[in-house]
Structure 1
Amino acid sequence: MDSIADMGGVLGYGPASRPMADEPPFAEPWEGRAFAMTVLAMGRISGRNLDAFRHALERLSPLDYLADGYYGRWLNAAELMLVESAVLAPGAVDTRVRRDRGEDVAEPAFPEPRKPEYAPSAPGSLREVADPPRLAVGQAVVTADVHPRGPSKLPAYLRRRRGTVTAVRPAHVLPDTHGVFVGENPQQVYTVGFDSAELWGPDAEPFRLHADLFDSYLAAVTGTEDS
């Protein structure tokens, strides 16, 4: 889906900051706790998977996504997953904060449980597919023009762009379906190289960007096609 989380290649947010060589993994103690709570909420409690967690991040409001920082997003996404699994009632966290402040507020009602019946077919995310790779190194390709309602690992700035396959990678579960529990649908993955001018126009700084993309995102380009 198109969301605030799809910020790759977007202008106006300033340069990305580089971490210091000796920077600790967590800037504040609460960030480490947020990390642990989210991992626990994602798997053992809510029954979600990594792709579902990423989809939860995509569904946060733009205001919360930008205002709460990196691990603040993790906490918001963990709360969303727990609510959708009926582990938490909607608004339960805010209600607890208000009650701790002395406000007289009622406990929110729990929704119907929606914990997915999910069991991976194998450990991790790598899978085997029966068909050989459809594309080869050196093949010119064009990316799909998609605006899905659910998750997608094809960034907006790479849609409808031409590139060249530079490597064939192992097959991987498809996040588009895995993140919403409608099947693993493993696909071949390819590394595709794009010229910066193809992505951001002729005035872009010259460089080549590489992205790992799923088979269903790519169409082969033949010499007879229009530029």
Structure 2
Amino acid sequence: MNTIHDMGGMDGFGPIEPEENEPVFHHRWEGRVYALTRAVGPWGRGREWPSFRYTLESIPPVEYLSMSYYERWFRMMTTRLLVSGLISETELETGYSDPGAPRPELLSGSNSGSLGAGLLDMDVPARFGPSDRVRARNLHPRGHTRQPRYVRGRRGTVVEDYGVYALQDTDEDGRRPTDRRPQHVYSVRFESRELWGERGGARDAVYVDLWEDYLEPA
């Protein structure tokens, strides 16, 4: 994404202040949102609802910044349920079953050919290898991408090849047709000053995991 949802490398938001002995959930409702998110997962089988991250990144920037972490999750979950017709606006507003809405049914999984998100046991040629110099392509997709904005157009060095994974990007509707494109994922080292100029530390570096489609020879 190209908006506030991709906050890596941005500043001006104040210091990061870790909370000592931070609990898993600060409020009981946060745990309920997490549990509900897991519970509704099976209802997505056979339904074309947008991907998890794409839905989060579709929240308007002003609203996104004003929400807490699990408020965003709740918005994501209810948005997916609404667009797939599993709940109605009336049910979301009142918290009660809408007698005029059709009864939701669990569907069997669709045979979409998705390769999933895990490591794939596939023999796919690698375009790059350790020590190769690469440049992150200057891509600006309208859907979700795993390429951080701050590395676009920057040069780095391949450190490790993690193996073959399906590309997890989405199209502009939040679907993942690209996950059928298995390819290598690499750990790429970027020198701090390549990313931040003179503001970067001379001895610092950032390691970013990048799909092969994001890279070109430097």
Task: Name the TM-score class by shorter chain.
Answer: 0.7 to 0.9
**What's the offset of the Cα at 1:13?**
1.1
Structure 2 residue 209 is matched with structure 1 residue 212: yes
Aligned to 1:224: none
Deviations 1:153-182 (A, max 9, x none): 111111111000011112122111496132
Q: Mark the CA change 1:183 to 1:161 in structure 2 (over 3 Å): closer, same or farther.
A: closer
Deviations 1:82-112 (A, max 9, x none): 112111234742x317x9xxxxxx99988xx
Task: Give the alignment's TM-score, normalised by structure 2.
Answer: 0.83
Structure 2 residue 175 is matched with structure 1 residue 180: yes
Q: Please report the RMSD computed on the Cα atoms of aligned residues, expressed in angstroms.
A: 2.9
Task: Give the alignment's TM-score, normalised by structure 1.
Answer: 0.80
Give the Cα–Cα distance (whole angstroms) in 2 for the partners of residues 123 and 176 of structure 1. 12
Q: Could you list the runs of 4 or more consecutive aligned residues of structure 1 that deviate by over 3 angstroms after TM superposition?
A: 106-110, 115-124
Give the Cα–Cα distance (whole angstroms) in 1 for the partners of residues 117 and 139 of structure 2. 27
Q: Secondary structure of 1:172's match?
A: strand
**What's the offset of the Cα at 1:135?**
0.5
Q: Mark the CA change 1:91 to 1:156 in structure 2 (over 3 Å): closer, same or farther.
A: farther
- 1:1-227 equivalence runs, <5 A: 1-20=1-20, 22-41=21-40, 43-47=41-45, 52-90=51-89, 92-93=91-92, 95-96=93-94, 117=110, 125-177=118-170, 180-184=175-179, 185-206=181-202, 207-221=204-218
Give the Cα–Cα distance (whole angstroms) in 2 for the partners of residues 108 and 217 of structure 1. 48
Q: Mark the CA change 1:123 to 1:158 in structure 2 (over 3 Å): closer, same or farther.
A: closer
Give the Cα–Cα distance (whole angstroms) in 2 for the partners of residues 88 and 194 of structure 1. 46
List gaps (5 residues or longer) in structure 2. Answer: none
**What's the offset of the Cα at 1:66?**
1.4
8 Å CA contact 2:130, 2:159 repeated in 1: yes
List gaps (5 residues or longer) in structure 1. Answer: 100-105, 222-227
Q: Mark the CA change 1:80 to 1:191 in structure 2 (over 3 Å): closer, same or farther.
A: same
Q: How many residues align?
A: 207
User: Kindly, what percent of the aligned residue pairs are identical?
Assistant: 34
**What's the offset of the Cα at 1:6?**
0.4
